[in-house]
Amino acid sequence: MLFAVLLPLLFAILVPMLSKWKHKIHTGIFVFFIPFLIFLYFIRFVGNDFTPVRQVYNWIPSLGINFDFYLDGLSLLFVLLISGIGSLVVFYSIYYLHVSERLGSFYVYLLMFMTAMLGVVLSDNLFVLYTFWELTSISSFLLIGYWHYRERSRYGAQKSMLITVFGGLSMLGGFILLTVITGTTSIQEMITQTDLILSSDYLPLIMGLILLGAFTKSAQFPFHIWLPDAMEAPTPVSAYLHSATMVKAGIFLVARFSPIFATYEWFFIIVSIVGIATLCWASYMAVRQTDLKGILAFSTISQLGMIMAMLGFGTKAAIFAAIFHILNHATFKGSLFMVAGIIDHETGTRDIRRLGGLLTVMPITATLAVFGTFSMAGIPLPFLNGFYSKEMFFEATLHLNEVVNPIANVIIPLIPYLAVFGSIFTFVYSMYFFFGVFTGPKQFDKLKIKPHEAPIGMLVSPIILVVGVVFIGLFPNSVNGTFLIHAAEAVNNAVEIKDIHFWHGWIPPLFMSLAVVGIGALLYLTREKWSNVYHVLPGKMSMNKVYDGLVKNVDTFSTRLTNTYMTGSLKTYMSIILGTIIFVTFIVMISTNGFNMEFNNLAEVTWIELAVVVIIIIAALATMFTTSKLGAILITGVVGYGVATLFVIYRAPDLALTQLVIETVSVALFLLCFYHLPKLEKRKESTGSKLNNMIISIGFGALMTLIAISAHSTEWFDPISDYFIETAYKLGGGHNVVNVILVDMRGLDTLFEIAVLGIAALAIFSLIKLRKDKEAE
């Protein structure tokens, strides 16, 4: 599985080279085979006898961080969506993106994103999952900002990055706490310790941090504001991110951790409330939009809210309905995004106010839109898969588990009504999308391009997705026992296989569906009469204004703060850096009892050592008071040669020789630069400045002294010197342990040090040569 996960990223290395041939062969043709091969690899796991598969590849075993991949029903569902719809999106992009575009960059970003999503859904190790999680944020940032010369693209990319990374960092905090409590980094092993986690005092904090990551990634209210601005990405990206990948990552995370948190009452309360609120608000706001992708963006948010709410319910029926709707949503929403892209591509606009009457000139596209929008609306027809999962959703709202918590007892009776409310507006925006584009008066004179049907290549991908809509609608049980049930069991072991039927008699969920259709149709037909309600709610209120205000205030504050210390004074910078080191290190060392002083078993200090140290101290102090440049250079040399003398006394000839060479070269370099050195003058400094310098100097010196003594007095581990002494001759063939360490045991380190010095020397030589050339001119 590791190769399957990393294959898109590895192939991305070749894309820039392949893109050079884009005028002969579209780059997407090469890329198409990557997700398609991954799809073929994983489709073989589908079947009644499927059992989870686990593969472990060592990475950082000392920290418990390995590429631990776990393929169960839930991850298999997402892997097939990522690779299957990914194949269709790449094929669609071949006809959508012209060869004049930066195809190399586009497909590199897309393949990077594909690897990230595969890693998220297959990783069983928390920190590997987090690594891939943040890679989705980075790659989606690049995809959304693909047309970087557009201000709105840059704005949307930045907004998505800030919000999702904020959630990701919060999620990391929850992961760390889980690891500390359970002593493992494996999600499956954590599930076996559910009782331990639920009894932890940190449970509310852990769940809150993880849910924050899920809500931001899956655009749940109030973090939903990044998704509509992400529509600035090319349509293939929108179709991919919002039907099967990016926004489903948060859904996956909640589903994956449901076995741990499902019995916790606040999990039900928080996830259900957030999900239902997102469904209602986003479906209500979708009707207000005039951009086709804007309508679909809010529709995606509303559908994600519905799935999130069902995961929050936690019942067997709700879990199965959530899994079923994940599949259904991917099919009809993917096709609708592609339809929106076709309309934009063939008319030159996505503004629904300028569209209308396209049914006669784009009949195939209109047919695809019928199946997509009507399935999304949940219209009770046997060949539309959206109705099945929508009816299951209504059924789940009527049979919620009783909870003792008084807050839960208040919201449980309201949930069915809120579900109907959100679904009514889902019906309205679905009809608004279809009839607003394909019926009504023709306005072809307002279009940049004379509308016409899309080429067959651009229609293939949405046709396949619509076939999926119809096939699942007509034969829902074909994906039940072999596929869906395994995904549902991964979330709740109590889920049972039940046949999916279109007709269940005159039951409450059917009446709820009929109410949605009836009231929704009435609201759609009278939309112009009640649309002024948006001037009241939300009116001038907007979460976007809150976000913009926060970003602006943070930027202003950071600018002011930076200007207070970025004065251009090197002295100020050094004071801040050293002062911070002294303060933080002292606090940490004292709070952790790090200053361990032991003076037993020390060698005697001879008068020779004492004399050398006194000379070094006198020389060091003299450098502060001398005003002679030559004298300062020579006195500094005395300090260095004094240290070399100590090495000789302590029988370290290699260190002494090295110190002598370095000190001699340093003094020589100072003397060579003698003419260019500034004059040493007594600077006029205030008493406060002198006091500050004294505190920093004495504080830093005292800190280093205490750390050195503490390090000598502390024996947490066996000294590594024993290993070198024992193995120097055996491994390196030399009796000089220091030489063996430098040349053999850390030879690569030494080599890179030499390389760094060589690069620095070349840089200095280049600067000197450039200066001489400039002076010669």
Residues 220 and 275: beta-carbon distance below 8 Å? yes
Residues 612-632: tens digit of each pLDDT:
999 988 988 888 788 787 788
- Whether 233 is in a domain gets the answer yes
Place 417 in a pLDDT band, splitting at 50, 70 and 90: very high
Instruction: Calculate mean pLDDT across residues 103-125.
Output: 95
- Whether 584 is in a domain gets the answer yes
Residues 631-678: tens digit of each pLDDT:
888 888 888 889 899 888 888 887 888 888 888 888 887 777 776 777
Place 773 in a pLDDT band, splitting at 50, 70 and 90: low
**Distance, CA of 353 to CA of 470 (rounded, Å):** 30
Q: Which residues partner with 351 through β-bridges?
A: 291
- Whether 553 is in a domain gets the answer no
Whether 456 and 582 map to the same domain: the answer is no
Q: In total, how many domains does the chain have? A: 4
Structure tokens at 77: 């569902």
* Domain boundary residue, one of 216, 234, 257: 257
- Whether 486 is in a domain gets the answer yes
Angle at 730 between CA 729 and CA 731, to 5 degrees: 95
- Whether 354 is in a domain gets the answer yes
Place 259 in a pLDDT band, splitting at 50, 70 and 90: very high
Whether 226 and 339 map to the same domain: the answer is no
Cα 421 to the center of its chain, rounded Å: 33
Alpha helices in 145-234 (DSSP H): 151-182, 187-191, 194-198, 203-217, 226-229
Indicate the SS3 state at residue 111: helix
Whether 20 and 107 map to the same domain: the answer is yes
Whether 25 and 141 map to the same domain: the answer is yes
**Distance, CA of 176 to CA of 180 (rounded, Å):** 6
Instruction: Calculate mean pLDDT across residues 130-140.
Output: 95
Residues 177-207: tens digit of each pLDDT:
999 999 999 999 999 999 999 999 999 999 9
Would you state the pLDDT for residue 738?
A: 79
Structure tokens at 274: 């957030």
For a pLDDT cut of 70, what percent of the chain falls above it?
98
**Distance, CA of 682 to CA of 696 (rounded, Å):** 20
- DSSP at 533: G
Would you state the pLDDT for residue 774?
A: 65
Cα-only R_g, the chain: 34
* Domain boundary residue, one of 229, 257, 285: 257
CB count in 10 Å sphere of residue 650: 12
Residues 373 and 366: beta-carbon distance below 8 Å? no
Whether 173 and 289 map to the same domain: the answer is no
Whether 271 and 247 map to the same domain: the answer is no
**Distance, CA of 274 to CA of 540 (rounded, Å):** 23
Non-local (6+) Cβ contacts of 75 within 8 A are 121, 122, 490
Whether 509 and 646 map to the same domain: the answer is no
Whether 247 and 324 map to the same domain: the answer is no
Residues 60-80: tens digit of each pLDDT:
887 888 999 999 999 999 999
Structure tokens at 361: 């000139």
Would you state the pLDDT for residue 464?
A: 96
Would you state the pLDDT for residue 191?
A: 95
* Domain boundary residue, one of 673, 698, 718: 718
Q: Answer whether residue 282 shows pLDDT above 70.
A: yes
Non-local (6+) Cβ contacts of 8 within 8 A are 34, 35, 38, 111, 112, 114, 115, 118
Whether 114 and 229 map to the same domain: the answer is yes
Non-local (6+) Cβ contacts of 19 within 8 A are 27, 103, 104, 107
CA distances, 480 to each of 259, 485, 501, 642 (Å) = 21, 6, 11, 82
Residues 1-18: tens digit of each pLDDT:
889 999 999 999 999 999
Alpha helices in 348-455 (DSSP H): 363-377, 385-398, 406-411, 415-438
Whether 245 and 291 map to the same domain: the answer is no
Residues 714-755: tens digit of each pLDDT:
777 777 788 888 888 888 888 888 778 878 887 788 888 889
Measure CA of the first residue to CA of the last residue in the chain; give whole Å: 63
Instruction: Calculate mean pLDDT across residues 210-229.
Output: 94
Query: The domain containing residue 421 runs over which residues?
Result: 262-535
Whether 408 and 483 map to the same domain: the answer is yes
Which of 254-258, 333-337, 455-459, 598-602 comes out lowest in average pLDDT?
598-602
For residue 222, say if its preceding peptide bond is cis, omega within 30 degrees of 0.
yes
What residue type is 766 in one-letter code?
S
Which of 128-137, 387-396, 589-598 comes out lowest in average pLDDT?
589-598
Helix (H), strand (E) at residue 60:
strand 53-60
- Whether 562 is in a domain gets the answer no
Higher pLDDT: 632 or 525? It is 525
Whether 618 and 731 map to the same domain: the answer is no
Could you tell me what percentage of the chain is helix, strand and coil, using 3-state DSSP and rounding each to the nearest 5?
A: 75, 5, 20
Instruction: Calculate mean pLDDT across residues 680-700.
Output: 81
Would you state the pLDDT for residue 623?
A: 82
Residues 351 and 289: beta-carbon distance below 8 Å? no
Instruction: Calculate mean pLDDT across residues 452-472.
Output: 94
Residues 635 and 667: beta-carbon distance below 8 Å? no
- Whether 550 is in a domain gets the answer no
Q: Which residues partner with 256 through β-bridges?
A: none
Q: At what angle do helices 292-313 and 248-261 cross, to 10 degrees?
A: 10
Residues 313 and 396: beta-carbon distance below 8 Å? yes
Q: What is the mean pLDDT of the chain?
A: 90
**Distance, CA of 124 to CA of 29 (rounded, Å):** 33
Please list, residue by residue across 330-346, b when 16 or more beta carbons sit within 10 angstroms of its beta carbon and e when fewer do: bbbbbbbbbbbbbbbbb
Structure tokens at 199: 């009894």
- Whether 549 is in a domain gets the answer no
